[in-house]
Amino acid sequence: MTHRAGFTRMCPSIAIGVDHRMRIGSSIGLIAIGLILALAVNVDLSGIDLTLVGWILAAVGVVGLIASLALARRSRPVVVAREEYPPQRGY
């Protein structure tokens, strides 16, 4: 496991176990699977309401999508216009 420590030093997102590119895709996938279960599947399972499970997955996907977009917006660098350096002297 010593090689893993060097790798995570180069890729800090792997160290925390989150791939930042897949947050939005995962949320859209949950929404799609949830809506398919809620609206298109007509299977009777004893003790499981697939329609309710579908709506719950879709709701979790929407919450995840909103959180992903908020985190993506927050993690972008902000460029601030600076005055010219060194400042010109007013002769």
Sequence ranges of the domains in the chain? 20-75
Q: CA 74, CA 76: separation in Å to the nearest integer?
A: 6
Q: CA 41, CA 37: separation in Å to the nearest integer?
A: 5
From first to last of the 91 residues of the chain, give the pLDDT tens digit: 444 554 445 555 444 555 556 788 999 999 999 999 999 998 888 999 999 999 999 999 999 999 988 887 776 666 777 666 666 676 6
pTM: 0.60
Q: CA 14, CA 20: separation in Å to the nearest integer?
A: 10
Helices (runs of H) and strands (runs of E) counted in the chain = 4, 0
Q: CA 81, CA 36: separation in Å to the nearest integer?
A: 48
Longest alpha-carbon distance in the chain: 87
